[in-house]
Amino acid sequence: MIEYIKGILTDLNPTQAVVEAAGVGYSIAITLPGYSALVGSENKEVKLFITEVIREDAHELYGFAVRAERQLFELLMTVSGVGAATARMIMSAFSAEELRMLIATGNTKAMAKVKGLGSKTAQRIIVDLKDKALKIDLGGDPTELPLGDFEPEDNSVKAEAVSALTMLGFPSAASAKAVDKILKSDPTLKVEAVIREALKML
């Protein structure tokens, strides 16, 4: 069981980070909040708390900036019908605090907008996790990731956002159309904000 991986961030995109530790490069699936925390930390030492998802055909690592986010992710996966991919999609569509509030207030409508979720699964998440989610402390668990001032070049935002959405399972044509619409409305948005808005549209 891997608790965390601490090493040099050698590669980063909105859905994946590669961290080299003791000569081994670990490919780690991340959420949008994780990406936001890691931006600017390329070639620096970072620490990600890990959840291992082992299936017959794959051994996947999911990484989080803070333990509380990992707790929410693991709680989501205890709900029937919610696997790792869906849990990551949920945690990319909402911040940890937003997700906790949606669960606490029983906001099925907003949660059901996440791709592949549906109203029944959203209701199940709220019923199963309402008490558990409220017990997670999101404020008292400081991140150990260095935060940088890096901002993507304007002309790379679209390409990076479309690439991330495609990796999350959305068709590239639909992703590009959604990203174009979002950037036309607000060209100053950073890539993570564009992806978050696109997740609500697709």
Between β-strands 45-54 and 59-64, what pairing exists: parallel, antiparallel or unpaired?
antiparallel
Going residue by residue through the chain, which has 202 residues, state the pLDDT in tens, using 9 for 90 and above. 899 999 999 999 989 999 999 999 999 999 988 998 998 899 999 999 999 998 888 899 999 998 889 999 999 999 998 999 999 999 988 888 888 888 888 888 888 888 778 889 999 999 999 888 878 776 543 333 333 333 333 457 888 888 888 878 788 788 888 888 998 888 888 888 888 888 888 7
Exposure class string for 56-68: b at 16+ Cβ within 10 A, else e: eeeeebbbbbbeb
pTM of the model: 0.72
Indicate the CATH number for domain 68-134: 1.10.150.20
For the chain, domain boundaries: 4-64, 68-134, 154-201
**DSSP 3-state assignment of 193?**
helix
Say which CATH class 154-201 falls into. mainly alpha
Question: Tokens 């333990």 label which residue?
Answer: 67
Q: How far is CA 104 from CA 73, 74, 98, 111, 125, in A?
A: 16, 17, 10, 12, 11
Please give the CATH number for the structural domain made up of 4-64.
Answer: 2.40.50.140
Structure-token match 């709900």, residue found: 79
112: burial class by Cβ within 10 Å (0-12, 13-18, 19+)?
A: middle
